[in-house]
Amino acid sequence: MDEFHRDLLFLLHDVARLLRVDADKRARLHGMTRAQWAILIWLERQPGISQKELSELLEVEPITVARLIDRLEARGMVERRPDPRDRRIWRLHLLRPARDVLHEIDQQRAEMTRLVTAGIGEESIESMIEALMRMKATLTQEAHASRRGAEHVDTETREAV
C-alpha cells in the first residue's frame, strides 16, 4: 500500500487536482471561476493574444474561451480588438478593472504557494521546481516530436493517395 501512496504520477495528479479544487474555491469567493482567473493571468503575460491561441494554452475549445471572454468583457475587464492584419482574428486586452482582480489573484496564488510549501525547506522547493521544469521540458519535447511524426505520416498518406 505504501508504494501506491508514493507513486510519482498519482502524487502529481492528486496535488494538481487538490490545487485546482482550492483555486476553484478561492475564485468563487470572489465571484469568478478558476478559468476566468486563468484567462486574466494569461492576458497579463501575453497581451494581445488571440482567442484561438488562448484556447490552445488553456486546452479548451475556442467556443469555451469565447464565452468566458464574453463574461469578462461584460464585467469591463477584457476587450476584443480586431487584428490589424486579419479581420477574422480578435486580439484580447486587459482593461483597468482587471488590474485589481489580478492583484487579488496574485495574493491568492502567494497564499496557495505558502500552503503547499509549508514545512518544506527552500533548498527542497528549489530542487522540486528544477525537477518539475525538467519533466515539463521532456514532455513538451515528446509532444512536439509526436506531433511532427504524425504530420510526417499524414503527409506520406496524402502523397500516397
| Cβ–Cβ under 8 Å, residues 89 and 53 | no
pLDDT at 145: 84
Q: Are residues 129 and 106 in the same domain?
A: no
Q: 78 - beta bridge partners?
A: 94
pLDDT band at 5 (very low <50, low <70, confident <90, very high): confident
CATH of the domain at 87: 1.10.10.10
- Domain of residue 129 covers 121-161
Q: What is the pTM of this model?
A: 0.80
Q: What is the pLDDT of residues 15-64, one digit of tens each?
A: 999 999 999 999 999 899 999 999 999 999 999 999 999 999 999 999 99
Q: How does pLDDT run across 62-119, given as a tens digit for each residue?
A: 999 999 999 999 999 999 999 999 989 999 999 999 999 999 999 999 999 999 999 9
- Provide the domain count of the chain: 2
Q: How far apart are CA 37 and CA 107, in angstroms?
A: 12
Q: Locate cell 497581451: which residue?
A: 47
Q: Indicate if 90 and 145 belong to the same structural domain.
A: no
Which of the listed residues 118, 134, 150 is the one where a domain comes to its end? 118
109/125 Cα distance (integer angstroms): 16
Q: How far is C-alpha 73 from the geometric centre of its chain's CA atoms?
A: 19
For residues 16 and 18, what is the distance between their CA atoms, to the nearest angstrom?
A: 6
